[in-house]
Amino acid sequence: MKTRTLLTASIFALSLAACGNAEKAAPTEPATSAAPAEMAASETMDHSGHDMSDGTTGHGTGIIKSLGTEGDFLTIDHGPIEGIGMGPMTMGFDIMGDVDLSSFAEGDAVAFMVKKGRDNSYRITTICNTSTDGTDCLEGMMEH
């Protein structure tokens, strides 16, 4: 009797889940607005109030807590990372591409960019020393 009750409850739950998804899968009409006409009248577009990130890349600042012995890993005590919605914390990052960490040391104040990999971990793609290169050193490196 318990098996039959469990089976019935499972089928019922699956049926409800399938019904809920049918509503989401229905095609929708594209929204129309006067925005293209307004944009055409403007010389430039202001993106300051919009989050243009896709959630896979971000940038932040922090202090290097440790460097990996192979130059392929950093632990950074960082503030919020814009673009990916990550709050402040201390965490380790692998290094991506040809990032050279030879000029960095523990205690350096840095600005950095990260990219989310297929394994869902974030890797540093660009880094600069804000103490020696200025607080806006990342600006020239960021792609918009």
pLDDT digits (tens, 9 = 90+) for 73-122: 999 999 999 999 999 999 999 998 889 999 999 999 999 999 999 999 99
In a domain, 17, yes or no: no
In a domain, 11, yes or no: no
In a domain, 2, yes or no: no
In a domain, 122, yes or no: yes
Place 29 in a pLDDT band, splitting at 50, 70 and 90: very low
In a domain, 32, yes or no: no
In a domain, 37, yes or no: no
Domain count, the chain: 1
Q: How far is CA 81 from CA 6, 62, 87, 111, 128, in A?
A: 46, 10, 6, 10, 15
In a domain, 105, yes or no: yes
Q: How many CB atoms lie within 10 A of CB 125?
A: 19
pTM over 0.75: no
Q: Residue 115 maps to which CATH number? A: 2.40.50.320
For 31-60, the pLDDT digits (tens) are 444 443 343 333 333 333 434 456 899 999
Domain that holds residue 106: 57-133
In a domain, 18, yes or no: no
